[in-house]
């Protein structure tokens, strides 16, 4: 049985709007096993990035965790001190952001920025730190580590900057890496290289990865399990293979159908009509009901509960046919 590294229980997050708290993440629960790559997928505004940033405690001041618990390697991250969080972040939890140009210091050379992570968390000589930085930049595939160490962020390409962010995330060999849409701004070729690099790191160090994306195609390339989020809730959960081959929720199906394929070349891509509801909108029943092509009266009147279709597949949908799903699992 796999050992759990991170367990999130009934997490709710709200954005303060004047005197009102607008719920952005609504009582979600999930876990990540040691050595596992877990993906969270959904459109912008579904709450996936807020969920990820709440783990290391990097939410902005106007965004608050209303309730829930986040246990990392046995410790509740929502109850530890700021000093304990500083010790964990960078050393035990590494973070890769979507756009490295806004995360890297434009006035500081790459070598010094990567070295700061080691200096903050480990007592090493300057020579040892220098060697660590050189080796990790070499590890992430920068063609000339020495030149890169002496370069500023603007002197590197987008793919090289993202490799630097990965180097900063892994240099202390963390137990968990949070990757928040790390390939979105990259072209397809570089995107594939970054995904392969993350899978290599996962296998070599047994590092767990929480991978955030709006693209199920990317998620299915790298993840073991997938959580599908919509309007602050987890609406489907399963192995990457199950979600790819047999999605059940209409929203998950829509995401799958919007992935470009060779067969669709020159044709108009399918899209999910409508939009994610704003945080201020009153929500009744299923949050996806206004966009669902198979909506029924019960979907509008009553919020669906998460139901197990198998040991590794759950869905929150009134239309899920349990009998046919169990027959599919047996086959």
pLDDT < 50 positions in the chain: 322-331
CA angle, 248 then 252 then 254, to 5°:
115
CA angle, 199 then 201 then 207, to 5°:
100
Phi, psi values for residue 236, rounded to 5°: -155, 145
pLDDT value for 26: 95
Kindly state the tokens that stand for 208. 């767990």
d(CA 219, CA 175) in angstroms, rounded, equals 20
Positive or negative: CA dihedral 194, 163, 105, 147:
negative
Question: Tens of pLDDT along 76-92?
Answer: 999 999 899 999 999 99
d(CA 200, CA 177) in angstroms, rounded, equals 13
pLDDT value for 259: 79
pLDDT value for 321: 57
Model's pTM, two decimal places?
Answer: 0.91
Look over the chain and give the mean of its residue pLDDT values, rounded to a whole number.
Answer: 90
In order of their start, the domains of the chain are 4-92+174-276 (3.40.50.300), 102-171 (no CATH)
Residue 64 β-bridge partners: 14
Q: Is there a contact between 207 and 201 (Cβ–Cβ < 8 Å)?
A: yes
């Amino acid at each position: 049985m796999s050992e759990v590294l991170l367990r999130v229980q009934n997490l709710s997050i709200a954005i303060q709007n004047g005197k009102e708290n607008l719920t952005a993440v609504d009582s979600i629960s999930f876990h990540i096993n040691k050595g596992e790559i877990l993906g969270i997928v959904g459109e912008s505004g579904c709450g996936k990035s807020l969920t990820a940033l709440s783990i290391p405690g990097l939410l902005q001041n106007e965004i608050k965790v209303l309730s829930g618990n986040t246990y990392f390697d046995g410790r509740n991250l929502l109850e530890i001190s700021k000093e304990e969080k500083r010790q964990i972040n960078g050393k035990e939890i590494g973070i890769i952001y979507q756009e490295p140009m806004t995360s890297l210091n434009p006035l500081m050379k790459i070598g010094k920025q990567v070295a700061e992570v080691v200096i903050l968390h480990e007592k090493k000589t300057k020579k040892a730190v220098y060697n660590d930085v050189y080796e990790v930049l070499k590890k992430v595939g920068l063609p000339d580590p020495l030149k890169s160490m002496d370069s500023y962020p603007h002197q590197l390409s987008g793919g090289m900057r993202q490799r630097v962010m990965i180097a900063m995330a892994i240099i202390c060999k963390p137990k968990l890496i949070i990757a928040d849409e790390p390939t979105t701004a990259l072209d397809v070729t570089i995107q594939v290289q970054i995904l392969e690099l993350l899978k290599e790191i996962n296998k070599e160090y047994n590092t767990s990865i929480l991978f955030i994306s709006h693209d199920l195609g990317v998620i299915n390339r790298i993840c073991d399990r997938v959580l599908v989020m919509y309007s602050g809730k987890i609406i489907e959960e399963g192995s990457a293979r199950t979600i790819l081959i047999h999605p059940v929720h209409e929203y998950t199906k829509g995401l799958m159908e919007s992935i470009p394929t060779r067969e669709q070349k020159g044709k108009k891509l399918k899209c999910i009509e409508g939009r994610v509801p704003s945080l201020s909108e009153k929500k009744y029943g299923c949050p996806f009901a206004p966009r669902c092509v198979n909506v029924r009266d019960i979907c509008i009147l009553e919020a669906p509960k998460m139901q197990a279709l198998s040991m590794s597949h759950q869905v929150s949908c009134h239309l899920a046919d349990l009998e046919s799903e169990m027959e599919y699992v047996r086959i």
